[in-house]
Chains A and B, each alone.
Chain A
Amino acid sequence: MDFGTRSRLFEDDEEEEELNYDADGLANKEHVVYLIDAGCDMMMPFEKGDSYLKVVMKAVEEDLKGRILARDDKVGICFFNTLKKKNIQEADGVYVWSELDDLTAELIRNFRSLHENFQKDIGSQMAIAANAQQIPLYDAIWVVTAMLRSGGKNVAKIVRLITNNDDPFSEVNDSFSEKEWKRLIIQKAQDAADLGITLDLLPLNTPDKSFDVNVFYDQIMHETDVDSFENADPASMLEQLQSTMKKRMYKKRVVRKMLLTVASGTEIALRTYAMIRPSVPPSHIFVDSLTNQPLKVERTFICGDTGSLMNEPLKRFEEYQGKKVVLSVDEVSEIKKISDVQLRLLGFKSLACLQPYHNLRPPTFIYPDEEAVKGSTCAFIALHRAMVRLKKYAVAFLSGRATSQLVALVAQEESDNQESPNGMNMIHLPYSNDIRPAEKYHASTSSVPRASSEQIVMATDMIKKLHLKNYSVTDYPDPALQKQYSTLQTVALEQDEENLPTTEDFTLPDTKLAERAEFFVKIFKNGVFGENHEEEEREAAAAKERGSAATQKRKAAADLAATESQEYNWAQLADTGKLKDLTTEQLKIYLRANKLPLAGKKDILINRILTHLGK
């Protein structure tokens, strides 16, 4: 065990867990090259006078914005059917605007301003582009394949080809060369596929013609991809391109592999996954505000007695009965090691035993691991089905390096929409000392009132009206996170710190729902609170307010000040600068009436009044 691992043993389990939330790993990196058709068809107007090309570039920009937040991707941008050329292969009609590289705010900014000067800097090739001698698409695939050549195994390599022209050979009138070109392009596409590059087509319909993939493109795409293009409606296609919302994408990663011991020698292999974890706000580092260079964090350990520097100590102590009891790392790890068995099945309980408050942290999803132990899938499915049918969950003891816990394994059935897959959820159960008898804190010495059956009926009517039929948790993005993401994006891309965006808070209740339920809410309210509720509440509040003599006196003073205050036109006095002509006592009338502090010199009092008036 190296030093780092040893000292980590001392750390708080929870803290370690929290750190791991983000360390779970982001989704597999993608290397993406946008291959954008800049031919004459793309110059046709699409909407509001904007050309297809402009709209496509806007969509790509949005996609880039999503990517930069979601993952650490690399992107390249390449146009084909261009007037000018820029590529190391010196192929005509292909313009590599940006080689494959890490995404930066600068790149997005430059890309955004690219369209203005597009015709000047890059240019669109006119109809004569494709002819028997040269098909830019062929060269373009060659060029982007080269762009994506590097990169390790764990990288998904993708070419996103965006075009509204389903027939790149329309200008080739000679059927022999058309056939030959097709063969060559298919060969190039195959080469790309052999290098692990996915060719992803985003076809766009034009007003007079739907995009027909069967003309040519189906031959360079993988078969399974074609079906989804039955309707290449441009709007929905572009939406598909930029659907990546501001959400960190995580890769499916096994958190831990473990064995569930049913009996000695009978062990089912499992893999665990973190399916639901509170997402963490964007990470930050510290920089030197003068140079914007990142700072290095240095921790030093200093002995409290001698003041000398020391290495990170490997011993800990605790005061107990006036003595300093010293514990070593090994002792702490031994205390924490409760069992050698990773996950021991202890039995099954009826689902009703699992109380809503038997919860400490997000669950872990488990799925059988056939690779480690043959027969795991079969045994797991059999147990899963038995538990579903008998309405039971399994109780097991989970033993880990840092924590040991009783866990509930609850079978999860597959939902139609694949929102929840089949498997089991491991729910960490609290220990007796983790559970508080909170419902009994205010247990009375006699019976407490209960709702009558009429009142329950009224509640039922109201609840039915407050029902959200199509509710799904996935409809609610975290407003605080969304705000952070969009603020960061604005600062990074607009370099404008003044006009920061406002984000919509989807968690606020829909006012229509309350309006719809208004009638039944009123019935319920009168039913449980009585007709004169508001008045009674006011009286109760007033009685509370009157409470002590001190509060009464304070209240009298405030009332007096409020009346007196009405004798002055404060706004006018402030505007004409006549506040300074008043005495401090007069100024205090305003302060008292508005419950502001009375301390300070005259200038301060005036300032306070001005601030309060919003001047």
Chain B
Amino acid sequence: MVGEQETLVILLDVSPGMHPYLPVASKCIATLVHRKLLQSKNDELGLVYFGHSETDNDLNKELEGYGNIVVAEPIAVVSQDLAGRLEDVPLGFGASDFLDAIVVGCDMLMKRLGENKKGNKRLCLITDAESPVREPLEGTVEEQAKNIAERMGEQGIKLDAVVVRIGQNFLTNSSAMRKNESLLDIFKLHTQTEVGIARSAMSMLGIMKPRVVSPTTLYRGDLELTPTMTVKVWVYKKTAQEKFPTLKKYSDQAPASDPHATREVKIDTEYKSSENPDLSIPPEQRAKAFKYGKNYIPIGEDVLKALKFETEKGIKLVGMVKSSKIPRHYFLKESNIFVPEPGHEKSIVAVSALVRAMKELDYVAVVRCIWRQGQTNVVMGVLLPFVATQDNVADGFYFNVIPYDDDIRAFQFKSFSSVPEPLQPNIDQQEAADNLVRMLDLSPDGDEELLQPEHTVNPILQRFYYFLHLKSQNPEAEVPPLDEALRCLVEPDPLLLAESEYGLRQFSQVLPLIQNTQKEKGKKSFWRDKKDDNLLQIKDEAGMEVDSVGPVSFSSLASRKVEEVGSANPVADFEALLARRDSPEWVGKAIQGMKKMIMDLLDSAYNGNTYEKALACLVALRSGCVIQEEPLEFNSFLQDLAIKGRGKRFQDFWQQVIDKRITLISKDEAPDSNVGAAEAASFLTGEKLEPKKEEPEDEIDEMEALLGEAM
């Protein structure tokens, strides 16, 4: 991953226009140094201030001119001292001429590395590009820029320009600014140049690339359109996620004072026999076994080879399809880019013709790719036309991996058009949403797009590298808070927010969103909602949930409306009935049905085989009555049951009720109750007013506590 050694010269504009942004700029440079120290510690760095009040550079000494440019740090291998020195950037009051600064930077690079294409040379220019560039004695500035750019191209010097326009928009651009921006564009045509307009401190961090990854091709060879027509292409990665570094495991076993301790931890993986845990099985005695149904099927070496799919390296066109056939969400992985083989003019023209024709037709190309010989799978992908905007860049294709049938899971979701009327947005609500989408605009017409991925720094890595630096200096250092400059990543831009305040307020007002906090105690809150006559009544779960789980059509049973307490699953039926809100009658029906069910279960009992179910029903009935505030229903039923239970036949059942401490519902639980807590508790044993605090709930809590411990 790490590219070859790089030599970089940073050209920082310190003229008055830049003064407000210098602290951010110095932070950006510090970040860059921190990263280089960790990832590419052999890289070299130089630092030049321009727009400085003073002048101190070789070219000035040799040729005169090049005023207000100070070489603050001659090119040297990056060091922590350098990182320290970056903290105070001088405020300059001189004229800032970025073309001069670029020439000084190039001169430093060439003196350091010699005049040739070798080496990995880069300039990083940070400027507000506000001050006009001095007109040359001969010719125009444009010609001058072109000359410099061509020279840079010959020398292989890359340019990254960060144009600071924090808190500004395109309306405030002065003519000097526009002219300077077009001067920078000239560089794009002659050397590898990136110009980024930084509208926020965050994008300054994003645009400044800490290092350049040296390009490696994923594939070089033919793109076969048909067996008789092939084009030569090279494939590169276009996106590749930069990962959080894998940190080494730390061992504290060696004494802290030992300066030579490696602190490393080795991991030893052993395969042990399941019969004899002391027996380690050597690699040659291990075989792979694949799951097939309940069993694992051992696979020998020969078959293992047969499991592998054999391929021939190459990229073949499967066919051209309408771009709508491959929707955006089919893109599966990081993207690649196909470029015609550099220097192969025929392929450059052929790709150009294909790209432009596809763009015109709105077609994309489906291709099957085997990047390497011996690859054991086929990658299906899509080529999308990339029409180059710069004259010196060849047309190409963006490539994305697309799924196979095996990768697509056909889950069903309810169509928005069939969502019930109360959940459909009305005209006002739709208008509020439309307004919000229009106002909270990150890509205003004619202006720079905000939060461009190209300009957005990874906040986690940014913080990690900074923390590492802090901790290397002070082991007690704490994790720094998120950099203020990155706040615009986690919350909307304050400026934008202020502009669209009306839209946001309107949206919040006409589209009420109410958190269902009592989800666990659900039933009660549903009940109350109904009393509150809330218009936004929640549909039954079954109604909102989408039917048919997977390919199994099981929906008919699942969505069947429960009408009575059945014998198969009385508790679930009872709860479902209580949850029904299409009529208040269901509660009464549920309670009566449950009572009958309990009695039926007891009457049909044989050797107590139904007691467990009956007890479960009784517990459900009790909690249902508490929630529905119908304590009398339960209390009278339990009293009836007690009479029955004290008889001979159901004595054993009643004993279980007592054991489970299923008491009357007390006033504490439901205000409408006719018994106090003490009476409720004593009722079971028939004893008068024996103080027993234990409640059924305690049991549940205990269970939870136990489970909690286990987890």
Which among B12-20, B66-74, B504-512 touches the partner chain? B504-512
Contact B277 A296 (CB under 8 A): yes
Q: Is B183's beta carbon under 8 Å from chain A?
A: no
Which B residues lie within 8 Å of A525 (CB)? Answer: 228-229
Q: Which residue of B lies closest to A507 (CB)?
A: B368
Which B residues lie within 8 Å of A158 (CB)? Answer: 552
Q: Which residue of A lies closest to B420 (CB)?
A: A377
Contact A105 B292 (CB under 8 A): yes
Q: Is B583's beta carbon under 8 Å from chain A?
A: no
Q: Which of A198, A297, A335, A345 lies in contact with B440, CB distance below 8 A? A: A345
Q: Is A549's beta carbon under 8 Å from chain B?
A: no
Contact A298 B272 (CB under 8 A): yes
Q: Is B27's beta carbon under 8 Å from chain A?
A: no
**Complex alpha-carbon distance, A473 and B400, angstroms:** 14
Which B residues lie within 8 Å of A194 (CB)? Answer: 566-568
Q: Which residue of A lies closest to B534 (CB)?
A: A374
Which A residues lie within 8 Å of B190 (CB)? Answer: 445
**Residue of A379, A447, A466, A525 most packed against chain B (CB within 10 A):** A379
Task: Tell me the minimal C-beta distance from A334 to chain B in angstroms.
Answer: 4
Per-residue A-contact encoding for B276-317, CB less than 8 Å = 1, 0 else = 010001000111111111111111101100111100000011
Which B residues lie within 8 Å of A297 (CB)? Answer: 269-272
Which A residues lie within 8 Å of B606 (CB)? Answer: none
Known: A27-B549, A318-B245, A473-B330. A390 touches B416 (CB 8 A): no
Contact A513 B319 (CB under 8 A): yes
Known: A334-B479, A450-B349. A283 touches B513 (CB 8 A): no
Q: Which of B319, B384, B515 lies in contact with A509, CB distance below 8 A? A: B319
**Complex alpha-carbon distance, A355 and B387, angstroms:** 13
Contact A528 B274 (CB under 8 A): no
Per-residue B-contact encoding for A315-350, CB less than 8 Å = 1, 0 else = 111101101111100011011101101001111111
Contact A430 B239 (CB under 8 A): yes
Query: How many interface residues does A have (CB within 8 Å)?
Result: 228
Q: Is B643's beta carbon under 8 Å from chain A?
A: no
Contact B357 A377 (CB under 8 A): no
Q: Is A582's beta carbon under 8 Å from chain B?
A: no
Which B residues lie within 8 Å of A285 (CB)? Answer: 288-289, 291, 296
**Complex alpha-carbon distance, A84 and B273, angstroms:** 46
Task: Tell me the minimal C-beta distance from B4 to chain A in angstroms.
Answer: 14
**Complex alpha-carbon distance, A26 and B321, angstroms:** 33
Which B residues lie within 8 Å of A487 (CB)? Answer: 303, 306-307
Task: Tell me the minimal C-beta distance from B349 to chain A in angstroms.
Answer: 5
Q: Is B620's beta carbon under 8 Å from chain A?
A: no
Contact B316 A275 (CB under 8 A): no
Which among A35-43, A433-441, A596-604 touches the partner chain? A433-441
Contact B254 A303 (CB under 8 A): yes
Task: Tell me the minimal C-beta distance from B518 to chain A in angstroms.
Answer: 12
Known: A252-B549, A286-B287, A305-B258. A156 touches B514 (CB 8 A): no
Known: A12-B246, A488-B290. A421 touches B413 (CB 8 A): yes
Q: Is B674's beta carbon under 8 Å from chain A?
A: no
Task: Tell me the minimal C-beta distance from B237 to chain A in angstroms.
Answer: 6
Q: Is A176's beta carbon under 8 Å from chain B?
A: no
Q: Which of A294, A425, A433, A518 lies in contact with B228, CB distance below 8 A? A: A518
Contact B398 A356 (CB under 8 A): yes
Q: Is A464's beta carbon under 8 Å from chain B?
A: yes
Task: Tell me the minimal C-beta distance from B228 to chain A in angstroms.
Answer: 6
Contact B292 A439 (CB under 8 A): no
Within 8 A of B (CB), among A537-565: none
Q: Which of A293, A375, A480 lies in contact with B377, CB distance below 8 A? A: A480
**Residue of B80, B191, B246, B443 most packed against chain A (CB within 10 A):** B443
Per-residue A-contact encoding for B341-373, CB less than 8 Å = 1, 0 else = 010011011101110111011010010100000
Contact B349 A377 (CB under 8 A): no
Q: Which of B453, B504, B534 lies in contact with A432, CB distance below 8 A? A: B453
Which A residues lie within 8 Å of B449 (CB)? Answer: 349, 353
Q: Is B475's beta carbon under 8 Å from chain A?
A: yes
Which A residues lie within 8 Å of B333 (CB)? Answer: 278, 359-362
Q: Which of B213, B251, B390, B511 lies in contact with A436, CB distance below 8 A? A: B213
Per-residue A-contact encoding for B368-400, CB less than 8 Å = 1, 0 else = 100000001110100010101011111110101
Contact B400 A356 (CB under 8 A): yes
Contact A338 B482 (CB under 8 A): yes
**Complex alpha-carbon distance, A323 and B544, angstroms:** 58
Known: A431-B453, A460-B361. A467 touches B292 (CB 8 A): no
Q: Which residue of B lies closest to A453 (CB)?
A: B356
Per-residue A-contact encoding for B177-196, CB less than 8 Å = 1, 0 else = 00000000000001110100
Q: Is A45's beta carbon under 8 Å from chain B?
A: no
**Complex alpha-carbon distance, A377 and B266, angstroms:** 52
Q: Which of A198, A310, A320, A509 lies in contact with B265, CB distance below 8 A? A: A310
Q: Which of B326, B363, B413, B557 lies in contact with A193, CB distance below 8 A? A: B557
Per-residue A-contact encoding for B239-279, CB less than 8 Å = 1, 0 else = 11111111111111110001001111111111111110100
Task: Tell me the minimal C-beta distance from B5 to chain A in angstroms.
Answer: 18
Q: Is B688's beta carbon under 8 Å from chain A?
A: no
Contact B492 A346 (CB under 8 A): yes
Contact B192 A437 (CB under 8 A): yes
Contact A382 B430 (CB under 8 A): yes
Q: Is B520's beta carbon under 8 Å from chain A?
A: no
Which A residues lie within 8 Å of B468 (CB)? Answer: 318, 320, 325
Which B residues lie within 8 Å of A484 (CB)? Answer: 307, 309
Q: Which of B154, B192, B360 lies in contact with A440, CB distance below 8 A? A: B192
Q: Is B434's beta carbon under 8 Å from chain A?
A: yes
Contact B248 A466 (CB under 8 A): no
Q: Which of A277, A434, A443 lies in contact with B393, CB distance below 8 A? A: A443
Known: A421-B412, A436-B240, A445-B154. A317 touches B328 (CB 8 A): no
Beyond contacts A313-B251, A466-B320: 16 other A-B pairs, Cβ-Cβ < 8 A, are: A158-B552, A295-B271, A305-B261, A305-B263, A306-B253, A321-B37, A345-B492, A346-B440, A436-B240, A441-B215, A455-B353, A475-B405, A500-B303, A507-B368, A509-B319, A529-B346
Interchain Cβ contacts under 8 Å between A and B, 22 examples: A14-B243, A266-B507, A275-B409, A284-B291, A284-B296, A299-B269, A304-B265, A305-B253, A318-B248, A321-B41, A359-B239, A361-B334, A433-B209, A438-B236, A438-B339, A443-B390, A447-B392, A450-B395, A451-B349, A459-B357, A474-B408, A510-B319
Please list the 9 inter-chain residue pairs (A to B) with the smallest Cβ-Cβ separation, ordered nearest first.
A316-B247, A451-B353, A468-B319, A382-B433, A304-B264, A459-B357, A480-B309, A382-B425, A102-B294
